[in-house]
Amino acid sequence: MATKSNTKYTLQRRKVVHRILEGRGDAAVVTGIGNAVHDVASANDDPKNMYLAGIMGGAAMVAFGVALAQPKRRILVITGDGELLAGIGSLATIGVEQPKNLSIIVIDNQAYGATGNQHTHTGRGVDLVGIAAASGFKKTALITTNAELQAELPRIHNKPGPYLAVVKVMSKSSARIDAPKDGTYVSRRFRAAVTGESA
Amino acid sequence: MARKKKTDWSKDVFKVLKKADVQQIAYVPDAGHTSLIKMAIADNVIKPVSLTSEQEGVAVLSGAWLGGEAGALLMQSSGVGNVINMLGMANECRFPLLMLVTMRGEWGEFNPWQVPMGQATEGVLEASGVIVHRVDEPSEIAETVEAAAKLAFEGGRMVAVLIGQRVVGFKDWTK
Amino acid sequence: MAARRKITLDRRKVVANILKDRGDLLLVTGLGAPTWDAASVEDNPNNFYLWGGMGGAVLTGLGLALAQPQRRVLVLTGDGEMLMGVGGLATVAVQKPSNLAIGILDNQRYGETGMQETHTEHGVDLAAMASGAGFQTTSTVYNAAELKTAIPMLYNTPGPVFVDVKVTAEDQPMILPPRDGPTLKHRFRENLLGSI
């Protein structure tokens, strides 16, 4: 039963993330733990990237805090299905608060990729798009093809949120591209980049 | 009774938070924080964020600081148990984190289920790298929060103010 | 999101109704008012009351349901307690325990701490979240007629079943069951297993 259920998906996670980040403009990006860090870092080590290499379940709320503090800037979350599931109540909190400038992109390989590809709940009937909609997200999408991804880009980058998309991808991970690991360095660099103040 | 002092110290603490330029107040409610939460909601600058679980709050305030704002996290001592793993981020990134924790499971506690977490609160916070200020005298709460805010925001540290159950008052189980 | 409808149901009456013909139902209650509600009906040895462990009621019910597949297990808890452990819905849905039902007494408030509004007051739809998590049977109940339909679901429909009962946000007299954890545990196990 290992990974049978996701063999039907053809999108490659790294290409998806790169496609999304091509149009980021001045958006700030918060990544969840695991492959999302490598996916984002491999596009460009932008100072407006906050890589979370820990705190499973915290990415959406970190980004929400940034979104409140930086209401004029788009904030993107790039994270995995397992990471979001670990903090799933945060969708309800975001649904209540309705930050217009927050988009959450879930790269859903239906597995805990960093720990041996064990199935997550999304491979067994849990519908993150449905949970986001139930939580009050204005716009949600399930993306399984390049055409669907292309069609969603305006919502990801520009249209009022909160927005959540689940992108179903193959379970195969791409090569590790390490981001800077030191949290103090990454966070100060990020803060200086988004606030214009010196670290 | 101690209960009646609740509003008084809350007002002073709120002034301190305003003075520290706190702009986001994240919370899971506790009876001891009732007045403070009301003031946060009524304030037209502060963004109140109601959470499903306290761990969300550590992440929100990390993001707030990344975005250039200061925040405070309000919770009951039982919520401290929910935040431990998330504190790793604030610790590793040396994010300022100000937590105001109203205590249960100690002075005059009626519910035995509150006692284990209440008794462990100070120890697990310290084990996680949080600097703990404890206060049991209503007149000292505001200045303690002021000192904690300074240590958090200027000293760049995780600081928790534990507000004793003796100050918050017994939970009234007879209503 | 659920359309806003008038909330009229009294939580005590709802719980009394649900537990009226409980048979050998095993009941787990979430901390706060659901525990007082259950105690107001009767202090039954098949009740396990949580006096703490916020966010854990549904998962406690799941473990019990997996251990006792021949018995119906009902979790009655509040909206705030459910929200604190809402990821548990996904865990339950993946396990698909056919003998587990969850009833939320949803007053859209944190009743024990000063009646602050919870997320359900602001459009978060717990039944839809359960459905998104993979529950096949979910319902939101606003009135007595809907409750009458929902109660047999709690007892008989193959689980997991999720019913969100909207109740009015009034303080009720506190009716406190035993609160000593070891006593509750031993009583529950002795009654269920014949020994502790």
Out of A89, A93, A131, closest to residue C132 by CB = A131
Q: How far apart are the CA of B1 and the nearest CA of chain A, in angstroms?
A: 36
B173 in a domain, yes or no?
Answer: no
For position B49, which CATH number holds? 3.40.50.970
Are the CB atoms for C10 and C140 separated by under 8 Å? no
Q: What is the pLDDT of residues B13-62, one digit of tens each?
A: 999 999 999 999 999 989 899 999 999 999 999 999 888 899 999 999 99
Q: Is the pLDDT of residue B93 over 90?
A: no
Contact B52 C174 (CB under 8 A): no
- Rounded CA-CA distance B78/B113 in Å is 10
B107 in a domain, yes or no?
Answer: yes
Q: Which residue of C has its CA nearest to A89?
A: C86
Are the CB atoms for A149 and A16 separated by under 8 Å? yes
Residue of B28, B101, B168 to mutate, interface with C, max C Cβ within 10 Å: B28
CA C88 to chain centre: 13
Are the CB atoms for C1 and A92 separated by under 8 Å? no
Asked if the C-beta of B120 comes within 8 angstroms of chain C's C-beta atoms, the answer is no
CA dist C39 → B168, C15, C50, C164 (Å): 28, 10, 12, 20
B72 in a domain, yes or no?
Answer: yes
Q: How far apart are the CA of A9 and the nearest CA of chain B, in angstroms?
A: 32
B118-124 long-range contacts (CB < 8 A, ≥24 apart) are: B118/B77, B118/B78, B118/B165, B120/B81, B121/B77, B121/B80, B121/B162, B122/B162, B124/B80, B124/B81, B124/B84
B140 in a domain, yes or no?
Answer: yes
Cβ partners under 8 Å of residue B7, min gap 6: B35
Out of C84, C94, C127, closest to residue A126 by CB = C94
> Where residue C196 falls among pLDDT bands split at 50, 70, 90?
low
B74 in a domain, yes or no?
Answer: yes
- List chain A domain ranges: 4-195
Give the mean model confidence (pLDDT) for residues C140-149. 97
Q: What is the pLDDT of residues C25-38, one digit of tens each?
A: 999 999 999 999 99
Task: State residue B110's pLDDT score.
Answer: 86
Give the mean model confidence (pLDDT) for residues C38-53. 95
Cβ partners under 8 Å of residue B12, min gap 6: B141, B142
Contacts of C126 in chain A (CB under 8 A): 134
Q: What domain range is B43 assigned to?
A: 2-168
| Token pair recorded at residue C15 | 């719980």
| Token pair recorded at residue A156 | 């990801």
Residue of A131, A137, A164 to mutate, interface with C, max C Cβ within 10 Å: A131
- Rounded CA-CA distance A168/A126 in Å is 13
Are the CB atoms for B24 and B64 separated by under 8 Å? yes
> A3: helix, coil or strand?
coil
Residue of B27, B37, B50 to mutate, interface with C, max C Cβ within 10 Å: B50
Q: How far apart are the CA of A125 and the nearest CA of chain C, in angstroms?
A: 5
Task: State residue B170's pLDDT score.
Answer: 60
B175 in a domain, yes or no?
Answer: no
B44-49 long-range contacts (CB < 8 A, ≥24 apart) are: B45/B18, B46/B17, B46/B18, B46/B22, B47/A68, B47/B23, B49/A64, B49/A68, B49/A93, B49/A97, B49/B24, B49/B25
Q: What is the pLDDT of residues B145-173, one digit of tens each?
A: 999 999 999 999 999 999 999 998 765 55
Task: State residue A199's pLDDT score.
Answer: 60
Its ipTM equals 0.84
Residue of A1, A94, A121, A139 to mutate, interface with C, max C Cβ within 10 Å: A121
- Rounded CA-CA distance A132/A104 in Å is 10
Q: How far apart are the CA of B116 and the nearest CA of chain C, in angstroms?
A: 10
Q: Which residue of B has its CA nearest to C82?
A: B52
Are the CB atoms for A107 and A78 separated by under 8 Å? yes
| A61 φ, ψ (degrees, to nearest 5) | -75, -35
> B121: helix, coil or strand?
helix
B174 in a domain, yes or no?
Answer: no
Task: State residue B7's pLDDT score.
Answer: 56
| Token pair recorded at residue C45 | 């040895």
Q: Is the pLDDT of residue A118 over 90?
A: no
Contact A93 C122 (CB under 8 A): no
Preceding amide of B112 cis, omega within 30: no
The DSSP secondary structure of C70-95, one letter per residue, reads TS-EEEEEEHHHHHHTTTHHHHHHHH
Task: State residue A54's pLDDT score.
Answer: 83
| Token pair recorded at residue C40 | 């107001």
Tell me yes or no: is domain A4-195 CATH 1.10.3720.10. Answer: no
Are the CB atoms for A96 and C119 separated by under 8 Å? yes
Average pLDDT, chain A: 92
Q: Is the pLDDT of residue B1 over 90?
A: no
Beta bridge partners of A119: A111
Give the mean model confidence (pLDDT) for residues A188-192. 96
- Rounded CA-CA distance B26/B19 in Å is 17
Task: State residue A1's pLDDT score.
Answer: 31
- Rounded CA-CA distance B17/B72 in Å is 8
Give the mean model confidence (pLDDT) for residues C174-184. 92
Indicate the DSSP class of residue C2: P
> Where residue A172 falls among pLDDT bands split at 50, 70, 90?
confident
> Where residue A4 falls among pLDDT bands split at 50, 70, 90?
very low
Contact A66 B50 (CB under 8 A): no
Q: How far apart are the CA of A119 and the nearest CA of chain B, in angstroms?
A: 23
Contact A55 B68 (CB under 8 A): no
Share of chain B above pLDDT 70, in %: 93
Q: Please give the domain boundaries of chain C with CATH numbers for all domains.
A: 11-193 (3.40.50.970)
Q: Which residue of A has its CA nearest to B88?
A: A55
- Rounded CA-CA distance B18/B10 in Å is 12
Q: C175, exposed or middle or buried, with CB in 10 Å at 0-12, 13-18, 19+? A: middle
Asked if the C-beta of B70 comes within 8 angstroms of chain A's C-beta atoms, the answer is no
- Rounded CA-CA distance A94/A97 in Å is 5
Q: Which of A23-32, B52-61, C100-109 has the lowest mean pLDDT?
A: B52-61
Which is higher by pLDDT, A4 or A28? A28
CA dist C16 → C38, C39, C175 (Å): 8, 10, 13
Q: Which residue of B has its CA nearest to C177?
A: B111
Total CB pairs under 8 A between chain A and B = 122
| C110 φ, ψ (degrees, to nearest 5) | -90, 90
Task: State residue B3's pLDDT score.
Answer: 45
Number of domains, chain B:
1
Indicate the DSSP class of residue C99: T
Find the helix or strand (DSSP H, E) in which B27 lies: strand B22-27
